[in-house]
Structure 1
Amino acid sequence: MTTVVGLRAAARVEDAVKTYGLGDTRVRALDHVTVEFPVARFTAIMGPSGSGKSTLMHCAAGLDTLTAGSAWIGDTELGTLNDRRLTVLRREKVGFVFQAFNLVPTLTVRENITLPLDLAGADGDQEWIDALIDVVGLGDRLAHRPSQLSGGQQQRVAVARALAGRPQVVFADEPTGNLDSRSGAEVLGLLRDSVDTMGQAVVMVTHDPVAAGYADEVLFLADGRLVGSMTEPTADRVLDRMKALDARTADGISDGTAARTSSEGADGGERR
């Protein structure tokens, strides 16, 4: 299990299994994964195509259900909730940032930012929202529609929307996938600042080693299993690890040693 001493988990999965299909077409997307995502921590999830990284995020966030095992947001086990209670929990405790922005085209920037609060019938903390608007640098664009913004500006709106309700954890799925390098750096900087200055928990799925370099820790998945982690990541170190995982996948090797030893090693260093 990946843990940080002294920090409680904003979200976690325990012995998580997710399978799709039946018989010969059955695929195990997650294979007994246990991991914690602490508060005030930026965690990146990486792995080769088909490694299970998006499945892990979706199940941890309550967007998909596990076949076996458990997923938790704070002290609440998601599998104990009916659809209505799960929807309420996601709205109140979880923020989402997606590659496709997912802004409502007919709403203004301000209305998009406050949309989760409006759907919940809550006023929210206006001082907090004003501070978010200032942080994302769109105070002069609040009356604009998404179509009047650049891609980077739209994603900054999406980040502000995810943070508006002070969620317990923000899940970001390839948040810079549709952005140029400069806009991507701005969005990643916002996520990094939300961790450092607001104590936010951020979990990001990415294929980009540069994006992963903004995280406190990178988790590596292969064949549906946690096969290692890296603290204090840099783009070069992450790229080297990904090359090794890609080669392993291409060779069809499935070795559980790394997963069993991923929590070993000194704090602040690389754990294999």
Structure 2
Amino acid sequence: MSTVVDLHAAARVADAVKVYGTGETRVRALDHVTVEFPAGRLTAIMGPSGSGKSTLMHCAAGLDTLTAGSAYIGGTELGTLDDRRLTELRRARIGFVFQAFNLVPTLTVRENITLPLDLAGTAPDRAWVDALIDVVGLGDRLRHRPSELSGGQQQRVAVARALAGRPRVVFADEPTGNLDSRSGAEVLGLLRQAVDTMGQAVVMVTHDPTAAGYADEALFLADGRLVDRMRAPTADRVLDRMKALDGAAARPDTAGRRDTTGRPDTVGGAS
């Protein structure tokens, strides 16, 4: 039976459940989460350590599989794809930006930017790549290797690489975690520009309220559940919300989400 999906959403998960381990070590990392990531929007995913925010991103991006529920890129359900087709979809329709940059040290800046296209056997759109290089401000560094760049410059290369194939959605996992405040602001400005000028969908996992302030919406997870969402977030409002979540997680009656029954818990908060 096919499921009706919102084709306007760049990515989405529906009733997503992810369980790790068995028996006494069974942990429910995602507990019936449903959320959409529209085109033309930067969405920040936040929550205390162990809340499930990275698990949500990995499952939405097809880097991990759900225990139950569904994940979609556009109208394609990831659970219906074999490994080869899933790899092809990730190359063609998803961009990634990671905290550790993940650049190939032996390749030049230009070669790193076009690497996903080269792996897919797709000829780069030279005008598009040149436009990205101009946007990230690295036109004078194209022949440099990553070791010859600052951390902020390396992450700008990673952003350009993520956008080079015109993906449907870009997933960014703590993209400013290894950067100083100035370089982090530059990278966040690039992601914001990709949303505003290119209509890109960007999904960013972050623990930083300042980074979340660049988003159109912040989603808050706790114990694997979507418990709140904030439109037009500001750093101060996000910080206050995170303090409340951290306080709740520290209380013995709410901390942890060990699941030894295998039965769904009652879902609280926003969905």
Q: Shorter-normalised TM-score: what interval?
A: over 0.9
- The answer to whether the aligner puts 1:147 opposite 2:144 as a matched pair is no
8 Å Cα contact 2:45-2:220 kept in structure 1:
yes
8 Å Cα contact 2:7-2:74 kept in structure 1:
no
1:1-272 equivalences under 5 Å are 8-254=8-254, 259-260=268-269, 262=270
Q: Which of structures 1 and 2 has the larger relative contact order (alpha carbons within 8 angstroms, sep 6+)?
A: 2
Taking the aligned partners of 1:9 and 1:188, their CA distance within structure 2 comes to 22
Taking the aligned partners of 2:232 and 2:211, their CA distance within structure 1 comes to 13
Deviations 1:87-115 (A, max 9, x none): 00000000000000000000000000000
Moved more, 188-197 or 245-254: 245-254
Taking the aligned partners of 2:122 and 2:157, their CA distance within structure 1 comes to 19
Deviations 1:24-82 (A, max 9, x none): 00000000000000010000000000000000000000000000000000000000000
2:196 partner letter: D
1:157 partner letter: V
Q: CA deviation at 1:119?
A: 0.6
What's the TM-score, normalizing by structure 2? 0.92
Taking the aligned partners of 2:70 and 2:200, their CA distance within structure 1 comes to 23
Q: CA deviation at 1:125?
A: 1.4
- Show structure 2 runs of 5+ residues with no match: 1-5, 256-264
Taking the aligned partners of 1:171 and 1:192, their CA distance within structure 2 comes to 13
1:226 partner letter: L
2:119 partner letter: L
8 Å Cα contact 1:58-1:64 kept in structure 2:
yes
Taking the aligned partners of 2:238 and 2:253, their CA distance within structure 1 comes to 20
2:155 partner letter: Q
- Show structure 1 runs of 5+ residues with no match: 1-5, 264-272
1:166 partner letter: R
8 Å Cα contact 2:31-2:267 kept in structure 1:
no
8 Å Cα contact 2:225-2:267 kept in structure 1:
no
1:198 partner letter: M
CA RMSD of aligned residues (A): 1.6
8 Å Cα contact 2:17-2:33 kept in structure 1:
yes
What's the TM-score, normalizing by structure 1? 0.92
8 Å Cα contact 1:152-1:184 kept in structure 2:
yes
Taking the aligned partners of 1:25 and 1:136, their CA distance within structure 2 comes to 45
8 Å Cα contact 2:7-2:75 kept in structure 1:
no
User: Cα distance 1:129–1:20, how it changes in 2: closer, same or farther (>3 A)?
Assistant: same
Deviations 1:181-206 (A, max 9, x none): 00000000000000000000000000
Aligned length: 257
Taking the aligned partners of 1:212 and 1:259, their CA distance within structure 2 comes to 23
Taking the aligned partners of 1:43 and 1:22, their CA distance within structure 2 comes to 32
Q: Secondary structure at the match of 2:43?
A: strand
Taking the aligned partners of 1:151 and 1:112, their CA distance within structure 2 comes to 15
8 Å Cα contact 1:40-1:201 kept in structure 2:
yes
User: Cα distance 1:252–1:7, how it changes in 2: closer, same or farther (>3 A)?
Assistant: farther
User: Cα distance 1:48–1:213, how it changes in 2: closer, same or farther (>3 A)?
Assistant: same
